[in-house]
Amino acid sequence: MKAAVVFDPATGPVYADFAAPNAEQGQHLVRVTASAISHVVKSRASGKHYSFDGTLPFVAGIDGTGVTEEGQRVYFAFPPTPWGSMAEFAPVDANLCLPLPDDLDDVTAAAMANPGMSAWAALITRAQLQPGETVLINGATGSAGQLAVQIARFHGAGKIIVTGRNPQVLSSLGADKCVNITDDEQSIAQQLSRLAAEGIDVVVDYLWGQSALAILTALAKHTSSLNPLRYVQVGALSGAEIALPGAVLRSSPILMMGSGIGSLSMTQLIHATGEMLQASVAGGFTIKTRQARLEDVADAWKNDDSKQRTVFVIR
């Protein structure tokens, strides 16, 4: 079959022939229709993600949409190594396949699934967001952050605060408060201090790095309630490490947790994705997409950016 194959993590996937899979007991052989590039897919293809097991060559992609042998449209995830979702066919455990809503097209579902799952798992599964609570989304201008805003609103958040580097995108999200993290450090600290004093219940952090340290410092100094403030760490686009003083945690009711592969089981992640896809129609969730042919994977990979989700359409 044809697939996006990673022979060398340093060079990324190329369009090539790869051994066609067979469905084992308990699996579906899914005919793939669409599969999207995501941060975790890129990280795995580069060999840098913690879930990469070192197997080479392998097919890129961890999830997508397709059709089972019985003709059912499904979202699927986590084909076993060395197969992936960016191929004509993928073997997938039956319990990792979810029926797609009739009103949700394959490309949108493939684009939305990974960032939507990330946002849903962080807000609903991990933080257990309650109606009326205040949510701060650190890094809201990317696909996952924008979906997190939509999901928080769908679940009745009382107030939504967003941070990011693109003021035009931030202002378009319909949030209650925006913090531009390209402002000077003093201005950022003052804005975060005021917001922390007003009360924040949940933080979903896609950036880590300096912005996370500024948020945690403001929360520690200015949070007056003793109710646990749930800080969910999801991504590290601004830096893998921060120097966090222990006093920040000792002096505040901050409950820190991660959300991702490992901190949640595959079953939990799939369940979160299924709930998000079903809610996407009722909630009117949207995501910007760019379609590409699988045979153009090398160029599309280089040109992919966070402004829209690149989706390979496989015929």
Instruction: Please give the structure tokens belonging to residue 273.
Output: 């994705």
Six token digits for residue 226 = 């003793």
Please tell me the predicted confidence (pLDDT) of residue 277: 96
Give the model's pLDDT for residue 224: 85
Name the token pair of 80. 């076993």
pLDDT value, residue 305: 80
Q: Mean pLDDT across the chain, nearest whole number?
A: 94
- Amino acid letter, residue 20: A
CA–CA separation, 306 and 164 (whole Å): 12
The pLDDT value given to residue 262: 86
Instruction: Give the integer Cα–Cα distance in Å for 183 and 293.
Output: 39
Close Cβ partners of 271 (under 8 Å, ≥ 6 residues apart): 125
Residue 53: predicted pLDDT: 74
In angstroms, what CA-CA distances link 9 with 43, 60, 162, 225?
9, 10, 34, 47
**SS3 of 252, please?**
coil
In the chain, the largest separation of any two C-alpha atoms, in whole Å, equals 60
Segment 102-128, tens digit of pLDDT: 999 999 999 999 999 999 999 999 999
Say how far apart CA 144 and CA 309 lie, in whole Å: 10
With tokens 């257990």, the residue in question is 128
Q: How far apart are CA 54 and CA 253, in angstroms?
A: 40
Mark the ranges of the chain whose per-residue pLDDT is less than 70.
306
Q: How far apart are CA 61 and CA 45, in angstroms?
A: 8
User: Which tens digit of pLDDT belongs to each residue from 245-267?
Assistant: 999 999 999 999 999 888 998 88
How far is residue 295's CA from residue 20's CA, in Å, rounded to a whole number? 17
Report d(CA 45, CA 123) in Å as an integer: 27
Q: Tokens 């941060």 belong to which residue?
A: 39
Minimal CA–CA distance to 174: which of 191, 183, 161, 157?
161
Q: Which helix (H) or strand (E) holds 55?
A: none
